[in-house]
Amino acid sequence: MSFGFAPSSAASTSSSADLSAASSNPLARLLEPSEWAAAGIPLLRNPREVVSGLHSRHRPKPATAIVAVLDPDERLQASASFARRPAPADGWMFRNALLAQLRRVIPHDLRRRTPVRTAVLLYCREGDARWTEEDGAWMWGLRDACTLHGLRCGAYITLTRDGWQVLGEGRGGRRPNSDSAPEPFGLSEAPPPLPRTGGAASDVLRRAAAR
């Protein structure tokens, strides 16, 4: 049982109006580079290692998003990749897609007072490394999904033919890129995950592989 104060009708009307306006205006659900830089996103100690590991595990092609959860030592705890649907960029839809993937691969941390684990997003796309409104929508979606899953919002990384870049930090490299072959796992801390086929059996296999 929970206790609280019921909102006034005026407050409810205002809140509903705000939600309605937000849901009808996708441009309100994106973050500009300056907003992202001011949000205090934690820096990756070794971004190339993170990017190379995710690239080797998921082998992304353009329009593929990879969301990964890192522990405080930047060890990969879980990751999932999925294809972006051919629809206008919308932070709300991106948030829902990211949240659905997070819920599939790792329990939430909402009981913690302070988030311990960090979620990062690698998005493979066409074009160059310059910020786009699509990037802004992914940033908005990542930040909101992290809040709803009890995680710290981490880096947003683009992967193009030119290479990879951590937006808002100015760090990047030429390899891996969207055309390059995956690097070997010789220096990785964990092997590639088992293929997901869905159902309880695959959940058990994933947990066993993560140990």
The HSE-up count of residue 5 (CA atoms within 13 Å, CB side) is: 5
Chain segment 177-191, per-residue pLDDT in tens: 999 988 775 434 444
- What pLDDT, on a 0 to 100 scale, did the predictor assign at position 101? 97
H or E segment to which residue 100 belongs? helix 91-105
Q: Is residue 21 part of a domain?
A: no
Of 125, 67, 133, give the one whose Cα is nearest residue 96.
Answer: 67
Does 16 fall in a domain? no
How confident is residue 105, by pLDDT bands cut at 50, 70 and 90?
Answer: very high
CATH number, residue 166: 3.40.140.10
**For the packed helices 133-149 and 91-105, what is the interaxial angle rounded to 10 degrees?**
40
In terms of Cα–Cα distance, which of 31, 55, 27, 122 is closest to 84?
122
203 vs 21, 57, 69, 170, CA distance in Å? Answer: 39, 18, 17, 37
152 vs 204, which has greater pLDDT?
A: 152
In a domain, 12, yes or no: no
Average pLDDT, the chain: 81
Which of 69-83, 92-106, 193-207 shows the lowest per-residue confidence on average (mean pLDDT)? 193-207
Does some domain include residue 23?
A: no
Q: CA 108, CA 117: separation in Å to the nearest integer?
A: 10
Q: Which residue has the higher pLDDT, 171 or 20?
A: 171
CA-atom Rg of the chain in angstroms: 18
- The answer to which of 15-24, 44-53, 116-125, 171-180 has the lowest mean pLDDT is 15-24
Strand-pair partners of 92: none
Number of domains in the chain: 1
Q: What is the pLDDT of residue 168?
A: 84
The parent domain of residue 43 ranges over 29-178+185-210
Can you tell me the distance from the alpha carbon of 131 to that of 32, in angstroms, rounded to the nearest whole number? 9
Alpha-carbon gap, residue 49 to 64, rounded angstroms: 19
Tell how strand 152-160 and strand 118-124 pair up.
parallel
